[in-house]
Amino acid sequence: MSSPRKLTPQEEARLAQVRSNFQERRRISESLEGIGTRIGVYSGKGGVGKTTVATNLSVILAAQDKEVSLFDCDIDCPNVTQVLRISEGPVQNGEKLVPPSRFGVKVMSMAFFQDNEDEAIVWRGPMIHNAINQFLHSTEWGSPDYMVVDLPPGTSDAPLTVMQTLNLDGFVIVTTPHELAVLDAKRSINMIKKMNLKVFGIVENLSGGVFGTGGGQALAEEMGIPFLGALTMSADYMNSKLPASLESDEVGAEFTAISEALQAQVEASKK
Ligand SMILES: Nc1ncnc2c1ncn2[C@@H]1O[C@H](COP(=O)(O)OP(=O)(O)O)[C@@H](O)[C@H]1O
Ligand SMILES: [Mg+2]
């Protein structure tokens, strides 16, 4: 039998690359294996209430005795930490980072690694991919029932890279009743469908204000997707020390209803 041919330097390098990709993927899946369901909160536009929904939904799930991790992955505008008023970052424990906890929710954010709050981060696809991978395997996620992810909006490179890297189980789409927002939401849903991923449902935010009401429900019917509920435009979201869902009974009731509808969809998707 002839002895195996020696690998060329190019082949050696390629093999090392494959091995390191494989090891990285294994480390990530080990780090995430305890997580029950990964839910991306997503919208076609910024400013429609993605962060509001992601944070309040997490807080309400925690109030319903679920274990929840919130991952702020809106790389251009990571502002979950501002909304929840978290000033302390994660704590190093050996090779792992232990996320801070607020209102029963463990929070990890790209903002922890920004030098300056006002700094605009311009990331390209491969950088996003690497940064998220780093986050995913170095964070001590524990075994929460849910991981809620605040995603970058739109259908550009950034949200796509994030979605592919995170391997989400499904999405909550946030829209306003306004027809342009609904159109953008539709685009986002089509993109998710093209990626063969699941939409758990649609939330209509800023409902009942100048934009009227019903756009989210109509979109849900048109696309054959569950409607999870509406959130009224309300002053309760302004300058409060607590997340609006804990501060106000009305907002709390809206989020409780959405949370229950979402959990029912998550359960149904497992069957
Ligand atoms: N239902 C609501 N009523 C009143 N203000 C709201 C409501 N939802 C969100 N807001 C406010 O609108 C602004 C944008 O919301 P945010 O969640 O940051 O949007 P996004 O993350 O999609 O960019 C925030 O100042 C937020 O407090
Ligand atoms: Mg946001």
What pLDDT is stored for residue 226 in this prediction? 98
- List the domain range (segments joined by +) for residue 255: 37-270
Please name which ligand lies nearest the alpha carbon of 74: 2
Quick one: average pLDDT of 20-27?
87
Q: How confident is the model at residue 160 (pLDDT cuts 50, 70, 90)?
A: confident
The ligand 1 site (C-beta within 6 Å) comprises 43, 46-52, 205-206, 231, 233-234, 237
pTM (two decimals)? 0.92
Assess if residue 25 is contained within a domain. Answer: no
Q: How far is the CA of 4 from the centre of ligand 2 (A)?
A: 55
Closest CA to 51 of 132, 120, 129, 149: 149
73 DSSP 8-state letter: -
Assess if residue 8 is contained within a domain. Answer: no
Q: How far is the CA of 50 from the centre of ligand 1 (A)?
A: 7
What's the burial of 70, exposed, middle or buried (CB within 10 Å: 0-12/13-18/19+)? buried
Residue 115 CA to residue 122 CA, distance in Å, equals 14
Assess if residue 104 is contained within a domain. Answer: yes
Residue 99 CA to residue 69 CA, distance in Å, equals 9
Dihedral of CA atoms 13, 15, 21, 22 in degrees, nearest 10, equals -160
Q: How confident is the model at residue 121 (pLDDT cuts 50, 70, 90)?
A: low
Which residue minimizes the CA distance to atom 1 of ligand 1? 233
Report whether 63 contacts 55 (CB < 8 A).
Answer: no
Assess if residue 4 is contained within a domain. Answer: no
Please name which ligand lies nearest the alpha carbon of 83: 1
259: domain CATH number is: 3.40.50.300
Assess if residue 262 is contained within a domain. Answer: yes
Q: How far is the CA of 12 from the centre of ligand 2 (A)?
A: 44
Number of domains into which the chain is organized: 1
Pocket test for ligand 1, best of 237, 239, 241, 245 (most atoms within 8 A of CB): 237
What pLDDT is stored for residue 30 in this prediction? 86
Assess if residue 20 is contained within a domain. Answer: no
pLDDT in tens, 34-85: 999 999 999 999 999 999 999 999 999 999 999 999 999 988 888 899 899 9
What pLDDT is stored for residue 131 in this prediction? 82
Using a pLDDT cut of 70, give the percent of the chain over it: 96
For ligand 2, a single-atom ion, the residues with CB < 5 A are 50-51
Assess if residue 31 is contained within a domain. Answer: no
**By mean pLDDT, which of 19-23, 99-103, 171-175 is the weakest?**
19-23
- 40: tokens are 């991306």
More confident residue, 89 or 62: 62
